[in-house]
C-alpha cells in the first residue's frame, strides 16, 4: 500500500509526459511554417491500395498528381493507382483539387482517417500542399530507394496556408566554379521542398560564360574556359594552371527550365552587363573600349575591362538576349549591372562622343543609358529587367526592378520610386558567408551569417511607408562560388540556411520564434539525411 501513491504519481507523470511530448512534437512540423497547422488524434494509413485522384474539372492537376505518385513510389516502393479525372473512391484516397478562392499559391491540406485532400488556389498551391503532406509523413518518405513498409501513418491534420511574398528566391553562381546539370536539378529540388518559386541562375561573369549562344559560338568555346584559378584566400594571390570550365547547352538549359517549371519554379537567367564581362570580351574583344586582347578571368574580383556602349555591342547583346528570351519563358531577365568600373569609358573616344551626343553628364549616366537601352529592347520582347542596386546610379530605367545587395538602401530608394525590389542584403542573404566559427569551417569569402541571423531577417524595411511596402517582392539567398568548388560544398553552404530564408519569405512575422523553428529544423535534419544532403550542423 505504501508504494501505491508514488507508483500512481509516477504512472500519471509518465502518461502526461508521453501525451505532452506527442502533442508538442506534433504542434508544428512543416518548414516554412504555415499560417495554420493543426493536428488531431488518429491517422490516415497510406498503403499500396491508396488511390491518387484528381476530380474531373481539374485536368491541369495531372502533372502534380504524377509528381506525387512518383515521389511516393520512390519512397515507399508502392506504385499507387492513379485515378485521373474520375470521381474519388469512397475511402483510402488522396484527392487533388483546385479552388481559386484559396488565392495564388495558397492551399489547404486536410488529412482524415479515410482521405487526404489537397486543395490549391492554383496548380502551384496544390503542389505546395503536396510538399506539406510529404513533410508531415515519416521522414523516411524522402528515401529514394523504396522502403517497402506495409503502411505509412500520416497524422490527421488541417493546414491552411499561403505565402507572405511572391518572390521566394535562391541564386546560384555557376561561373566562378561550374556545377553540372545534375547538381542544378538537385538544387532546384531543395527549393521545391521549401516552397521557393524563383531560381536566379548567374550564367555569365568574368571567369566564365556558361550559356551556349548559337550565334556567337566563341562565347562558350573561348569564354567558357580559363587557364587557371585562384587557390586559397584572395590575399595570397596564388593560382593554379589547370584549364577549368564548362557550359550548358541550350538543350540542357531547356531541360533545367522544364524541370523547374514542373516544381512551379521560374528560372531567372542573369546575363551580366556592362561589367563582369571579361569572358565575353576574351571571346569577342571588339566589344571592349580598347580592343584587347583579353583572357578569361583567373582572379576573383572586379575587372576594369567592360562592354563598350557602342552600336556593335548593343547589336551583340540584343542578339544574345533574343536567344536568352527564347530559352526562358519567365517575365524577368536579370542584366547584372553591379560593379562596373568606369575607367575605360573615361578614356574611350567612342564612349565620350556618345555621352556628348546623348547629353549625358557623367559615366554613371552612361551606365544608366546602357541599361535603359537594354530595358527598352527587352520590353519589346515582353520581358522586364531586374538588376543589382547599382542600376540606381545615374537614374533607374523606367520599368526596372532592383535587387538590393549592398545593404537595404538601394531597395528602399527603389521602393520609394515605386519600383519592385527583391531584398538580398549581404549580411543576411549571402550564403557564401561563414555560418559558424571560421576556425572549423571550409574557407569562405568572409562574413558571418548564422541560421538564426537569416531566420530573423525581415525584408520589409521600417523606413518604408505602408503604401511603399508592396514594392518589396520578397527576399533571395545568394550563393557566389569563388570559394565554393564542389556540389557538396555548395550544399553545405546552402543548407540549412535556405530553410531559414524560406521561413522569411513564406511565414508570417507574428508566428516567428527561433527556438520553435530550431526544433522543427532538427526534426527536418532527418529528411536531409534521407536525401543524402551535406548540410551544416553549426546551429548545434
Ligand atoms: C554582387 O554581389 N556583386 C551582386
Ligand atoms: Zn568605350
The residue whose CA is least distant from atom 3 of ligand 1 is 338
Ligand 1 probe mutation, 273, 297, 388, most atoms within 8 A of CB: 388
Tens of pLDDT, residues 456-507: 999 999 999 999 999 999 999 999 999 999 999 999 999 999 999 999 999 9
Summary mean pLDDT of the chain: 94
Within 10 Å of residue 200's Cβ, how many Cβ atoms?
A: 26
Angle between helices 487-494 and 497-506 (to 10 degrees): 50
Tens of pLDDT, residues 117-163: 999 999 999 999 999 999 999 999 999 887 778 899 999 999 999 99
Q: What's the predicted TM-score (pTM) here?
A: 0.95
Q: What is the DSSP letter of 154?
A: E
Q: pLDDT-based confidence at 85, cuts 50/70/90?
A: low
Using a 6 Å cutoff on CB, does residue 300 contact ligand 1?
Answer: no
The DSSP code sequence of 100-137 is: GGG-TT-EEEEE-SSEEEEEESSHHHHHHHHHHHHHHS
Q: Which atom of ligand 1 lies closest to the CA of 276?
A: 3
Residue 26 predicted with pLDDT over 70:
no
Q: How far apart are CA 420 and CA 422, in angstroms?
A: 7
Tens of pLDDT, residues 318-362: 999 999 999 999 999 999 999 999 999 999 999 999 999 999 999
Using a 6 Å cutoff on CB, does residue 339 contact ligand 1?
Answer: yes
The verdict on whether omega for the bond into residue 496 sits within 30 degrees of 0, i.e. cis, is: yes
Beta carbons within 8 Å of 532's beta carbon, 6+ residues apart: none
Here the cell at position 333 is: 531577365
Active site residue 323: no
The H or E element spanning position 204 is strand 204-205
For the chain, how big is the Rg over CA atoms in Å? Answer: 26
Here the cell at position 161 is: 496556408
Tens of pLDDT, residues 100-126: 999 999 999 999 999 999 999 999 999
What local confidence, expressed as pLDDT, does residue 58 receive? 61
Using a 6 Å cutoff on CB, does residue 165 contact ligand 1?
Answer: no
Q: Using the mean position of ligand 2's atoms as its centre, give its distance from the Cα of residue 296 in Å.
A: 19
Amino acid at each position: 500500500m505504501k508504494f501505491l501513491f508514488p507508483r500512481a504519481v509516477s504512472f500519471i507523470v509518465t502518461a502526461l509526459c508521453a501525451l505532452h511530448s506527442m502533442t508538442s512534437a506534433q504542434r508544428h512540423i512543416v518548414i516554412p511554417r504555415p499560417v495554420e497547422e493543426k493536428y488531431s488524434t488518429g491517422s490516415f494509413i497510406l498503403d499500396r491500395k491508396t488511390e491518387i485522384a484528381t476530380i474531373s474539372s481539374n485536368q491541369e492537376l495531372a502533372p502534380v498528381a504524377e509528381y506525387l505518385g512518383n515521389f511516393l513510389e520512390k519512397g515507399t516502393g508502392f506504385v499507387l493507382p492513379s485515378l485521373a479525372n474520375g470521381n474519388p473512391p469512397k475511402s483510402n484516397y488522396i484527392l487533388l483539387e483546385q479552388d481559386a478562392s484559396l488565392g495564388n499559391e495558397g492551399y489547404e491540406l486536410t488529412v482524415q482517417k479515410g482521405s487526404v485532400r489537397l486543395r490549391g488556389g492554383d496548380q502551384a498551391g496544390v503542389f505546395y500542399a503536396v510538399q506539406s503532406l510529404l513533410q508531415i509523413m515519416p521522414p523516411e518518405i524522402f528515401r529514394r530507394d523504396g522502403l517497402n513498409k506495409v503502411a505509412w501513418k500520416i497524422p490527421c491534420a488541417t493546414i491552411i496556408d499561403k505565402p507572405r511574398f511572391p518572390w521566394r528566391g535562391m541564386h546560384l553562381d555557376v561561373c566562378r566554379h561550374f556545377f553540372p546539370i545534375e547538381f542544378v536539378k538537385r538544387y532546384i529540388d531543395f527549393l521545391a521542398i521549401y516552397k521557393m518559386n524563383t531560381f536566379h541562375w548567374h550564367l555569365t561573369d568574368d571567369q566564365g560564360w556558361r550559356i551556349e549562344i548559337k550565334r556567337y559560338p566563341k562565347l562558350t568555346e573561348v569564354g567558357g574556359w580559363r587557364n587557371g584559378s585562384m587557390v586559397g584566400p584572395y590575399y595570397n594571390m596564388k593560382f593554379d594552371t589547370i584549364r577549368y570550365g564548362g557550359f550548358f547547352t541550350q538543350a540542357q538549359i531547356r531541360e533545367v527550365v522544364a524541370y523547374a517549371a514542373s516544381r512551379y519554379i521560374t528560372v531567372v537567367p542573369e546575363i551580366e552587363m556592362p561589367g563582369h564581362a571579361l569572358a565575353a570580351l576574351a571571346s569577342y574583344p571588339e566589344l571592349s573600349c580598347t580592343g584587347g586582347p583579353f583572357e578569361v578571368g583567373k582572379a576573383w574580383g572586379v575587372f576594369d575591362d567592360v562592354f563598350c556602349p557602342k552600336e556593335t555591342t548593343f547589336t551583340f547583346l540584343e542578339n544574345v538576349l533574343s536567344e536568352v528570351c527564347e530559352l526562358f519563358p519567365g517575365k524577368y531577365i536579370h542584366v547584372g549591372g553591379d560593379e562596373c568600373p568606369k575607367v575605360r569609358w573615361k578614356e574611350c573616344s567612342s564612349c565620350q562622343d556618345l555621352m556628348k551626343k546623348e547629353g549625358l553628364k557623367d559615366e554613371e549616366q552612361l551606365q544608366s543609358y546602357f541599361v535603359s537601352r537594354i530595358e527598352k529592347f527587352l520590353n519589346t520582347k515582353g520581358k522586364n529587367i531586374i538588376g543589382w542596386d547599382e542600376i540606381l546610379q545615374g537614374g533607374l530605367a523606367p520599368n526596372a526592378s532592383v535587387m538590393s545587395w549592398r545593404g537595404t538602401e538601394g531597395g528602399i530608394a527603389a521602393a520609394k520610386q515605386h519600383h519592385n525590389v527583391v531584398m538580398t542584403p549581404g549580411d543576411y542573404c549571402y550564403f557564401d558567408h561563414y555560418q559558424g566559427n571560421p576556425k572549423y569551417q571550409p574557407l569562405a569569402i568572409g562574413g558571418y551569417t548564422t541560421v538564426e541571423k537569416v531566420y530573423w531577417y525581415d525584408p520589409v524595411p521600417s523606413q518604408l511607408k505602408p503604401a511603399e511596402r508592396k514594392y518589396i517582392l520578397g527576399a533571395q539567398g545568394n550563393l557566389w562560388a569563388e570559394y565554393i568548388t564542389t556540389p557538396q560544398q555548395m550544399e553545405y553552404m546552402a543548407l540549412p540556411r535556405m530553410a531559414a530564408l524560406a521561413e522569411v519569405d513564406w511565414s508570417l512575422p507574428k508566428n516567428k520564434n527561433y527556438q520553435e523553428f530550431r526544433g522543427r529544423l532538427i526534426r527536418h535534419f532527418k529528411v536531409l539525411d534521407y536525401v543524402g544532403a551535406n548540410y551544416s550542423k553549426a546551429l548545434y
